[in-house]
């Protein structure tokens, strides 16, 4: 083995892992119905590749090579575990299915079916995003736990339980029928967006795991929009993510201080990415079926337009928030809507439009609610109350740079 060949083999393995991991897992799981066994088989195939490829050179079709090894391993495992009659029948079916596809030129892409299983309504909503990251991208439980601020042991246990449920409860590994698709796709999109938001909470990208998570979520969003090009919400969600991602560098000064949207320099935004977002949103619009993600993307588009041109477009923004609130009834949307009302009718009107904490107790722990309230109170000249609202917002924020920003706002209030 020479060092150069080793490097190359490792490089190829990494590349295949990233590009094909989900495809290979999805292929194995849809045929064996056993998640853990498919992952084990694939892990072994990758381990063997690391030994074999540096010695014998990379195979012409690395994906097929890995699948052949994993397939053999999955079948051996099954045989080892089950020796009864039913098992013999199942085994024949499984190996037949695996053989048939292994001889095909291209491995069929069943990642979307896998994603639908991960986001099935029978799976606990909180574990859907982590499960998808593991199933489709092969992220390990430790990485996922860190990104979701959870304990590695707890996360690992919940992932195992969810995979067992897919197998034992007979959760189907297929794309739902047309009449069900829209409802079920929502859960898939929500899980991907949850992964994106988790990554997004580290705005400087100081934490490599969190920064990666936004990239991984973008990868999944692109995948869904490629596999379901006729779904406007899939396109809308990808657009929404791109609008946010295009501004990631402008959210911080060189010294790392937080810059709110209104003070960002539009020249620092990623223009190509924004153009892609605009195009996606326009394409979604032609499909004439509005939804939460398209509305949120449209709001981002309106903010980008205003900041770039200096044309105040608050009536349009308010209209979009009205539509979004009618659709979701979310107190988070209501909070942002109140800020738009304040731009049009003054801070008092904005304060009156703020949602009541009694309506949703979670608001009491929601930093942007208190920051918005503080901002409006300050503008209305109610300084003591504004100070208290800033205090709560500061206490609830986990990003130090945003905390410092809020502290500066609080300190600028007249005594």
Q: Which residues bind another protein (CB under 8 A)?
A: 82, 84-87, 120, 122, 168-172, 176, 180
CB of 174 to another protein, least distance (A): 8
CB of 243 to another protein, least distance (A): 35
- Measured CA to CA, the distance from residue 343 to residue 261 in angstroms comes to 15
Closer CB to another protein, 170 or 329, in the complex: 170
Closer CB to another protein, 30 or 367, in the complex: 30
The owner of tokens 């800033």 is 390
Closer CB to another protein, 23 or 120, in the complex: 120
Of 351, 342, 236, 384, whose CA–CA distance to 296 is shortest? 236
CB atoms within 10 A of CB 81: 10
Closer CB to another protein, 37 or 393, in the complex: 37
CB of 167 to another protein, least distance (A): 10
Task: Give burial (CB, 10 Å; 0-12/13-18/19+) of 17.
Answer: middle
Closer CB to another protein, 125 or 206, in the complex: 125
Closer CB to another protein, 55 or 81, in the complex: 81
Of 350, 327, 328, whose CA–CA distance to 337 is shortest? 350
Alpha carbon 85 to chain centroid distance? 43
CB of 81 to another protein, least distance (A): 10
- Measured CA to CA, the distance from residue 386 to residue 107 in angstroms comes to 59
CB of 178 to another protein, least distance (A): 14
Residue 252 dihedral angles phi and psi, to the nearest 5°: -135, 140
**Is the Cβ–Cβ distance between 209 and 143 less than 8 Å?**
yes
Q: Quote the tokens at residue 71.
A: 């397939």
Closer CB to another protein, 90 or 264, in the complex: 90
CB of 172 to another protein, least distance (A): 4
Closer CB to another protein, 15 or 122, in the complex: 122
- Measured CA to CA, the distance from residue 29 to residue 93 in angstroms comes to 13
Each residue of 136-162: b (16+ CB within 10 Å) or e? bbbbebebbbbbbebeeeebbebbeeb
Of 64, 146, 143, whose CA–CA distance to 107 is shortest? 64
CB of 171 to another protein, least distance (A): 5
CB of 133 to another protein, least distance (A): 23
């Amino acid at each position: 083995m020479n060092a150069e060949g080793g490097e190359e083999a490792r490089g190829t393995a990494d590349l295949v892992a990233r590009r094909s991991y989900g495809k290979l897992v999805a292929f194995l799981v849809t045929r064996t119905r056993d998640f853990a066994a498919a992952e084990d088989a694939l892990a072994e195939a990758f381990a063997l590749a690391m030994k074999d490829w540096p010695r014998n050179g990379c195979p012409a079709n690395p994906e097929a090579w890995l699948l052949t090894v994993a397939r053999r391993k999955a079948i051996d495992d099954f045989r080892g575990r089950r020796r009864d009659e039913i098992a013999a029948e199942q085994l024949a079916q499984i190996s037949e299915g695996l053989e048939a596809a292994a001889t095909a030129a291209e491995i069929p892409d069943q990642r979307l079916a896998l994603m639908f299983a991960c986001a099935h309504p029978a799976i606990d909503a909180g574990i859907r995003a982590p499960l998808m990251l593991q199933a489709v991208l092969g992220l390990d439980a430790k990485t996922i736990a860190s990104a979701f601020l959870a304990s590695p042991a707890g996360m690992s246990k919940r992932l195992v339980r969810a995979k067992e449920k897919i197998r034992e409860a007979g959760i189907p590994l297929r794309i739902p029928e047309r009449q069900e698709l829209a409802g079920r796709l929502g859960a898939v999109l929500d899980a991907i967006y949850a992964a994106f938001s988790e990554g997004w909470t580290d705005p400087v990208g100081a934490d490599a795991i969190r920064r990666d998570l936004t990239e991984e979520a973008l990868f999944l969003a692109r995948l869904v929009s490629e596999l379901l090009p006729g779904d406007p919400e899939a396109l809308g969600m990808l657009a929404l993510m791109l609008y946010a991602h295009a501004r990631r560098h402008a959210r911080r000064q060189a010294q790392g201080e937080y810059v709110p949207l209104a003070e960002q320099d539009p020249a620092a935004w990623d223009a190509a990415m924004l153009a892609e977002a605009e195009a996606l949103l326009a394409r979604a619009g032609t499909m004439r079926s509005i939804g939460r993600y398209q509305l949120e993307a449209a709001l981002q588009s309106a903010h980008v337009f205003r900041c770039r041109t200096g044309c105040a477009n608050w009536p349009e923004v308010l209209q979009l928030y009205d539509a979004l609130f009618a659709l979701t009834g979310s107190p988070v949307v209501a909070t942002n809507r109140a800020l738009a009302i304040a731009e049009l009718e003054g801070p008092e009107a904005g304060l009156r439009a703020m949602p009541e904490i009694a309506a949703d107790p979670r608001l009491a722990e929601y930093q942007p609610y208190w920051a918005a309230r503080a901002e409006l109170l300050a503008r209305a000249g109610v300084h003591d109350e504004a100070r208290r609202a800033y205090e709560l917002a500061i206490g609830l924020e986990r990003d130090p740079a945003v905390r410092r920003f809020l502290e500066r706002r609080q300190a600028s209030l007249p005594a």
